[in-house]
Chains A and B, each alone.
Chain A
Amino acid sequence: MTAATVILTVPHSGGKFSEGAYKTAGGLHGVGATVINALSEKLELTIWKDGQKFTQIFSRGVALPHHIVPCDPKLHGTQLRWLFDRLIFDDEAYYPLEAIDSRLKAAAYLNGGVTFHLDAWDDAENKQVSRTFYSRDGLPDYVRELSISTSAPLFKQVLGIAKEKDGVQVEVALQPTTGYKTTIYSFANAVRTRDGGVHETGFKAALTKVVHDYALKWKIIKNREEDGFRPEVIQQGLNAVISVKLTNPQFQGQTKDRLNNAPVEGIVRSVVDEGLKDWFESNTTAGKEWLKKILQMQKARNEAQLVEELARGGNKKNGELIDTTLSKKFLRCNSNDPERAELFIVEGDSAGGSAGQGRFSEFQAILKLKGKPLNVAKADLRRIVENEEIRTIINVLGTGTRDSFDISRLKFDRVIIATDADVDGLHIQCLLLTLFHQEFSDLIEQGHVFIACPPLYSVKYKGKTIWLLDDEARLQFMKTHADAGGLEFKRFKGLGEMNPKELRDTTFDPARRTLKRVSMEDGVLAARLVKELMEDENAEARRVFLAEHSRKIKELDV
C-alpha cells in the first residue's frame, strides 16, 4: 500500500510527525482524513510530484487501485475531491458557506502569503460565488478587520509581533479600541483554540507586565499596588489575535479547544514581552494614549465599584444578626410605618441621651452623630465610602444613594436635623444638608428634610415656664410683657441642657413643636452654593462670601 493510501484509510496514521514531512500541523491524531474518507461516497486523490501523477479513488473508504502516470515535472501539489456519503448523512446535510468562508479567511490570515480560493453555490443567492482569500501581513490584517466590525481603534497602526523562539513560531497582532468589548482569538497551528490555553495565558501575562512597567516609567501611575490595572481592564476593548505554530501541539480533546504545551506559555510570554517593549519604546505617543485609556477605564471601574458600595450602604457585615455598632448610635422607633416614622439626627451623646428619653418612641427614632460629619463635597469617593457615620446614615435611611436612590424605600417620612443652637450646630446643619444634597437629593426636593427648632430661651413668668424660640421671640415677649424687665432668661446652648420632659414638650411633640421644612426652590442656585461653600478650592470665594454677609449678620451666637 502506498503511504497516501495508508494515510487515508488507516486511522492514527498521520505522516506529520516525522522530520521532513510537515513542519507544523494542526492535526495530531492521524484520524481526521481517514474519517472523512470513510464518510464519503467518493473521494478522489491526486498527487503531482517529481514528474509523476498519482491518482486514486476511494469508495466509501475502500481504496480502489491507484494509477501512476508521468506528467509535467513542473507540477507539484496534492488534490483531494470528495462527496459526503448520502447514505450516512441525511438530505438536509450541507456544507455551510459561512463556516467555510470564515475558516478559509482565518486560514488566510494565519498563513500570511498563501492564497485560498473558494467557489461555491450560494443557496440563498441562488448563484455561484467565487472568493479569494489572501493576506499578505497575516495577523495584523486579521486584527484590522476585527476593528472594522467593532468600535473605532485607538490609533491607526496595528501592533504586530512575530518571532520564533525555541522552535515555536509566535505571531501576535493587537489593537486597542475605544470600545469595551474584548476580542481575543487564539490559534495553535492554525487551529482555533476557543478555550485559550497556555499561549493565551502567556500573552496576557506579558501584556499586564509590560503595560504596568511603562505606566510606571512614564509616570501615568504612581505605584502598582494602589493604582495598578486589573488584567480585565487592560484587555477591555482590545482586539487581539495570537497564533503559535509548534511541532508537537498538545490539545485538550479532539475538538482542539485548548492548548496545553506548558513551555509554550513561557515562550509566548517572553516573545510578547520583548515585542511589546520594542513597540512602546518606538511608539511613545501611541503608547501613552493607550495607557491613558487604560487608566481612564480603571478609574471608571473603581468609581463604579465605590458607588455600588456606597449605594449598598453599611449593610450588616461579619454575619452578625444585629449590627452592634449601629444599635449604639441608633435608637429605633417601634412603628415600622414609613409614613408615620420620623428620624431625628442629633449631635453626640450629650444630646442623644435627652433625646432618647424625651422622644415619642412610638414613631420617633434617634440617630446620634459623633463629632462633625464628613464634608462630602470636599472628600473623595473612597473616603466617603469608608466613613462610618455616612454608612450609618445610608443604612438607616434605607434608600440607597445617587443613581440607586429609591424614594419608595425611605423608612422615615421626616428626617429632622436637631443640632445644638450654637455655631458648631449650624456648621453641622451645613454639612448634613450638603450630604443630603449630594447623595440623597430627592429627599430634599420631596420635602422630607426638616430642621428642628428647639427653643433658645426659657423664662419663668408668673410661675409658669415660657419657651421662646429665638431672639425675635424674646424681644416680642419683652414688648408684650412690660413687667418682664428683671426676669432671668435662661439660654440654651445644646439639647443636652434641657430635661427630657422639656425637650419632649418643646421639640418632639408634634402638637407643640416648630419645624423648618427645607424646600428646594432653585436647584441651580443650591448646587452653586454648595460648590462655593463646601468644596475645597474655593477659600477666596468663601472669604468674599463672609465679608459680604458680615454686614447682614449683626448678632452672633457664641
Chain B
Amino acid sequence: MARITDNSTTAETGIIREEDFSVIMAQAFATYGLSVVTDRALPDARDGLKPVQRRILAGMRAARYLSTRPTVKSAEVVGLILGNYHPHGDTSVYDAAVRMAQPFTLRYPLIEGQGNMGSEDGDAPAAYRYTEMRLSPLAEALMADMESDTVPQHPSYKQDPRVLEPDYLPGRIPPIVNPSSGIAVGLSTNIPPHNLVEVLRACIALLDQPNMDVEQLMRYIQGPDFCQGGRIIGVDGIKDYFATGKGRIIVRAEVRLEDTPRSRSLIVTQIPPIGRDKVKASIVKAINARKLEGLLPDVRDESDTEKGMRIVLELRKDADAAQALSQLFAETDLQIALSFQMVFLFGEPMQAARQPKQVGMIDLLNYWNTHQMDVLTRRTQFELRKAEERLHIVEGLIVGAANADKIVKVFQQAEDRAAARQVIEKTYKLTPIQSEVIASMTLAQVTRLDAGKYAKEKVELQTRIGELQHLLSDRKAMLLLLKKEMQQLIKQFGELSTWRARFMSPLKKLPACTNESLSPLPLHVLVRSRRCQQIRLFPGEKMVQPYIRLFAAMSNCARSSQPRHKIMFCVSLQAEGSSKSRLIASHPEIVRQRASICANFWGWLKAKRL
C-alpha cells in the first residue's frame, strides 16, 4: 500500500492490514523454498556451480585475481564478494571458497589456496586473515569467453548498474567433473565427481551421436572418479544413475598387506569419499565393539605429503588377513554405500536457470553440448561484430592515411572539428565513426609503416570475417571448432586426470576376501603392442586384489590402442629388489573390439589362476 510520509500524528494511526495465516504461510514458504531451490542449493546444469560459487569465481575474475598473478589475501576476496555480489554471511562465502580450493573435496579444484586450507582429516581451514587465494587455471578455463557477450549479466543485489554478475558461466568445463551436493526444499542433489578427459571425450562423441545409449556411454565414462580413489564395486549402480540420474554404488578402500619380519599389517592407501577422520573413527569404534578380532587395537595414521595416505592396521600374530579384511569392509567405513541423484537447474539460453530436474548422464551432457554450441555461436557473433567494427575503422584510417594532405587542408580551412568532419564525410563517403577516427589521427599514423600496417590489417580482418561468417552459417564447421576446443582442453588438463578410482569387474555380489586376494608378491603387467611399446603398470606394488586392477588397466590400455593392432599381454612376476622379471604368461590378442579385449584377457587370467 501507500508510502509512509513524514506527517506525524498522535496515537495509533498506523495502518493495520489483515492477512490470513494460510496465505502468509503459503506465500512465505513458497518464496523461501523457491529461492533455496533456484538460488542457493542446486547447481546450474551449464556450469555446474551454485550461486555462491559462481559469484566467488566471477568476482575474482573481475578483480583479476588470476592464476598468473600472486595470491591475494582471502579476506580481500571475501570482502569483495560480500560487498558486491553475495548479501549473506561471511562464513558462507569463505567456506565455499575454501571448499573450492581443497583437492580432496573437488576433483578439479577451482581455486588455488595458499596456507592452511583444511585437511582430509576434517581440520578447519585457517581464518581468512591468514590464508590467500587466486583462481586456478581450470577455473579460468571454465570462465573463458565471458567477456565475449556469451552470457547474460544482471546487476547484483546492490542494484548498481555498474556492478554486474553473470546468470551463468560459459562453463567450458563440463558440469559433472566436480562433486556437488545440496539440500533444497522438497529436493536434494548429490553428484559424484568424474574424470575430465573421459567426460570431454564422451561429449565429443555425443556431438555426433546424441542418441547414444548407456552402454555406449560407459565406453567413454567408466563411472565416478573420486578424489581419494577407492574401488567401486558393481556397475549396475553406475548404469542406473547414468540412465535416470539416480543410483547407488558401493565403494571400498584400497588395502594391501605388508608382511615384514617384525609385523603383518593391513595398509590402507585409498579410502571411499568420506573424511579420513570419519574412517579412522569408525575403525576405532569397531575395534572397541570387538568386531575386528584379527587386528591389534591400534590405528596408526602414517600419512603425510610424501607417502600419501597410509593408515596402518596391525594384524594379530595368527590372524587371517583375508578374514580381517572382510570384517573391516563389513563393520567400518572402509566400505560404504553411496546414493546419488543428479538434480540440476535448467533454463533457456540467455536466462537464469529456474527449473530443477533430475537427469541422466546422457541428457545432461547433451544439454551441456547445446549450451557450448550456444556459447560458441554467441562468441563468434561477438567476434564478428568486433571485427566488422574494426574493419570499418581501419578502412577509415586507410582513407585518412592515403589522402592525408587533402584532409589536412580541409581541416585547416574548417571552422571547427564538427564542420571539418562533415566535409570529409561528404567528400570521401565516410561515416561519422570513420570521420571521428580520422579527426583523431596522429601524424605518425600517416607514415608508410603505419599505413602499410593498416592495409595488412584490413586483409586479415577480411579473412577473419569470412571465417567467422562461414562458422556461423555452417553448423558442421561450428561443431568441428567445438570439438577442437574440447580436444585442446583434454590436452591442457589431461595430466590432472590420471585415474584415481578403480573398478571391480561387474560382479553382482560383493566378492569375498579370500587368501588369494592378498598377494604377497609384486605383480607387473607388461603390455606390448606391435610397435614394441612397453607399458609397465603397477611397478613393485603388492596388490591385495590384483584382478580388479588389471581389469581397469586393461580397459585403459585397450582404449588407447589402435584397432587391429596386435597386442601382447604379458604377466610377469618380479621379486622385490630385483630387476629381473620372470614371465609367467603371455597372450597375444588382436584388437578387434576394445571391449572384448578385456573380457578375453580376464577369462584367460582366471583360467590361469593367477
Contacts and interface: CB of A to CB of B under 8 A. Distances in A.
B34 interface: yes
Interface string B19-32: 11110111011111
Interface in B180-231: 185-187
A256 B140 CA distance: 95
A369 to B, nearest CB: 16
A16 to B, nearest CB: 59
A387 interface: no
Contact of B25 (A467, A516, A530, A556): A530
Given A430-B29, A526-B25, A533-B29, A515 B14 contact: yes
A521 B24 CA distance: 12
A541 B28 CA distance: 16
Interface centre among B1, B20, B32 (most CB of A within 10 A): B32
Interface stretch (A18-26, A152-160, A305-313, A545-553): A545-553
Contact of B1 (A451, A514, A556): A514
B442 interface: no
Given A515-B14, A540-B186, A558-B157, A553 B5 contact: no
A444 B21 CA distance: 8
Given A466-B3, A546-B186, A558-B157, A424 B32 contact: yes
Contacts of A518: 19-21, 24
Contacts of A472: 1
A557 B40 CA distance: 12
Interface stretch (A67-75, A232-240, A282-290, A504-512): A504-512
A545 B186 contact: yes
Contacts of A541: 186
A430 B3 contact: no
Interface magnitude class on chain A: 35 or more
A469 B87 CA distance: 20
Nearest to B36: A423
Contacts of A468: 3
Contacts of B118: none
A510 B11 contact: yes
A348 B16 CA distance: 25
Nearest to A533: B29
A520 interface: yes
B3 A469 contact: yes
A417 B117 CA distance: 40
B39 interface: yes
Nearest to B23: A521
B8 A433 contact: no
B35 A455 contact: no
A9 B485 CA distance: 124
B4 A455 contact: yes
Interface magnitude class on chain B: 35 or more
A376 to B, nearest CB: 14
A506 B39 contact: no
Contacts of A513: 4, 14-15
Nearest to A558: B157
A444 B39 CA distance: 32
B19 A516 contact: yes
A546 B28 CA distance: 11
B443 interface: no
Contacts of A83: none
Nearest to A434: B25
Contact of A510 (B12, B87, B354): B12
Interface in B458-482: none
Given A510-B12, A521-B22, A543 B187 contact: yes
B297 interface: no
B10 interface: yes
Interface of B: 1-6, 8-22, 24-26, 28-39, 87, 157, 159, 185-187, 354
Interface of A: 422-424, 426-427, 429-430, 433-434, 437, 444, 450-451, 455, 464, 466-469, 472-473, 476-477, 489, 491, 493, 505-506, 509-522, 525-526, 529-530, 533, 539-546, 549-550, 552-553, 556-558
12 contacts: A423-B31, A429-B28, A444-B21, A509-B14, A510-B11, A511-B14, A514-B15, A515-B15, A520-B21, A546-B37, A549-B33, A553-B30
| 9 nearest A-B residue pairs (beta carbon) | A543-B186, A542-B186, A549-B30, A426-B28, A423-B35, A513-B14, A427-B32, A514-B15, A510-B12
